[in-house]
Amino acid sequence: MTDPQWRTYPGSWSKLSLRLFLRGLGEPRMAVDLITAAWAFRRRDWWKQAPFLPLPDQPYLRWRMYTAYGDEGAVPPVEDVIRFARWRRELLRS
């Protein structure tokens, strides 16, 4: 399923990360939400394998994009990531 509606963010993961970073600069609460969500997605034992950064596991990330957007190569829109991070905070608060 490659319906263009689902790929509403025409860009790369780098551009998405930059846009989220810039949004987080203006809203510290959102920045914390985004950082904690990103930390939850990190690859297990990330410090044991190059590039030694807490990045998400690629097969898991592709699966998440497929289940959310019907395309494992999808890059989510900024608002979807922000909505997910806020939802996660609210869910974990209770």
Cβ neighbours, 10 Å, residue 74: 19
| Residue 28 forms part of a structural domain | yes
Burial of 59 per CB tally in 10 Å (0-12, 13-18, 19+) = exposed
- Could you list the residue range(s) of the whole structural domain that residue 51 is in? 9-93
- Sign of the Cα torsion 56, 88, 79, 72 reads positive
**Which helix (H) or strand (E) is 78 found in, with range?**
helix 78-93
| Residue 21 forms part of a structural domain | yes
| Residue 56 forms part of a structural domain | yes
Are the C-beta atoms of residues 51 and 58 closer than 8 Å to each other?
A: no
The tens place of each residue's pLDDT in the chain, 94 residues long, gives 444 454 445 679 999 999 999 999 999 999 999 999 999 999 999 999 888 999 999 999 999 999 999 999 999 999 999 999 999 999 998 6
| Residue 55 forms part of a structural domain | yes
| Residue 51 forms part of a structural domain | yes
How many domains, the chain? Answer: 1
| Residue 2 forms part of a structural domain | no
Q: For position 1, what pLDDT does the model report?
A: 45
